[in-house]
Amino acid sequence: MPTIAVLTSGGDAPGMNAAVRAVAKLGAGRGVQVFGVEGGYDGLINGSFRPLTKAASGGWLPEREVDRMLGRGGTILGSSRSARFREPEGRAAAAKNLSGMDGLIAIGGNGTLRGAHALAVETGVRVIGIPASIDNDIGCTSLSIGVDTALNTIVEACDKISDTARAHKRAFVVEVMGRESGYLAMASAVAAGADAVLFREQGRTEDEVVSAVEKVVRESFERDRGKRRTLVIKAEGVPVPCTRLVREVDERLVDLEGVECRAIVLGHLVRGGSPSYLDRMIAGRLGLMAVEAILHGAGDEMVAWRPVFPDAIETSDANVGRFPLERVIEESQALLEGTSPVTRRRMALIEAVEGVLAL
């Protein structure tokens, strides 16, 4: 009887629970005993397992808590950014706790996937990664779990901010998460109807960032278009703190009477919340293909949603492919360095609309 362990690691993302649930339910359905690891890689080193399936006549059933997981944000198993797991000793201890099991499914972002690859290479543990991060900075997959819900949260927040902005004829700079990746800012700017978007990949200096915001506010309010709001979305990776940016813009706009700028940092708000339809669906289908991969003897790979490269290992789901973790790590690096065709495509899309966002 096969046995699989599943964990969530790194920054939590809406939909992680849906992925854990999929692994537990599909595992049980395939006669697999499934253990959840509490507290990410730290929990794996400590041997903190809890059963997610229970024996039943003729096979396995998911534990009751599994069903309650689907609509919950965060991760019920808990997570960690484990410094110990970055060390070979920590990984060796983790592998020891997995002995006798058929594989590990690791749900998380780039740090988690790098750790999974090192564990697989050093100890031979069969690991399958499931991409989960609101930053969408993971190579080979078009979306990671959590992005869609985070985008909906940002758009909803910007709609609320726009209401009060219009009431007072104000400009707002809204900062969103994403670490080094500008994906959340780029994608939400279009959906929230922003007048401008700022992200690290633009490679602007502080002065250029301030000038860009000054320009869009002036253009919005100077030329009497009857506009009562200017919305600028800023990725957290842009190296100017939101409050300082707004202060510097305000100083340059003293001649623009009656116009005020405000800064808002959405922060961890975009990491919480009940997962959207799309995140639940992606989590379910990646969970299924991860279980299948382990049962087919695969390891040191990641399941990708709508693979961005044509050479993915095929699965029985036309929307899911697999890539070696080593490849994923390389492509994630290229995404952030801007050498990836994916980053170039994303930036070209924004450049195509940049001139009209504020119209």
Quick check: 135 binds ligand F6P (CB under 6 A)? yes
Quick check: 14 binds ligand F6P (CB under 6 A)? no
User: Stretches 131-139, 215-223, 286-294, 313-321: which one binds ligand F6P (CB under 6 A)?
Assistant: 131-139
Q: Check 12, 102, 135, 195 and give the catalytic one.
A: 135
Q: How far is the CB of 11 from ligand F6P (least distance, A)?
A: 3
Q: Which of 4, 5, 9, 11 binds ligand F6P (CB under 6 A)?
A: 11
- Looking at residues 243 to 272 of the shown chain, list those that interact with ligand F6P (rule: CB under 6 A): 271
* DSSP letter (8 states) at residue 134: T
Quick check: 109 binds ligand F6P (CB under 6 A)? yes
Q: Which of 119, 177, 238, 328 binds ligand F6P (CB under 6 A)?
A: 177
Quick check: 133 binds ligand F6P (CB under 6 A)? yes
Quick check: 78 binds ligand F6P (CB under 6 A)? no
311 is catalytic: no
DSSP codes joined into one string, 197-264: EE-GGG---HHHHHHHHHHHHHHHHHTT----EEEEEEETTSSS-HHHHHHHHHHHTTTSTT-EEEEE
Quick check: 284 binds ligand F6P (CB under 6 A)? no
Contacts of 60 (CB under 8 A, 6+ apart): 27, 28, 31, 32, 33, 34, 53, 54
Contacts of 355 (CB under 8 A, 6+ apart): none
**Phi, psi (deg, nearest 5) at residue 297:** 85, 10
Quick check: 134 binds ligand F6P (CB under 6 A)? yes
Quote the Cα angle for 104-340-146, to 5°.
Answer: 45
101 close to 119: Cβ distance less than 8 angstroms: no
Is the Cβ of residue 109 or residue 287 nearer to ligand F6P in the bound state? 109
106 close to 294: Cβ distance less than 8 angstroms: no
Is the Cβ of residue 11 or residue 103 nearer to ligand F6P in the bound state? 11
Quick check: 24 binds ligand F6P (CB under 6 A)? no
Q: Which residue reads 């080193």 in tokens?
A: 45
Quick check: 179 binds ligand F6P (CB under 6 A)? yes
CA-based end-to-end distance of the chain = 62
Enumerate binding residues for ligand F6P (CB under 6 A).
11, 109, 133-135, 177-179, 236, 271
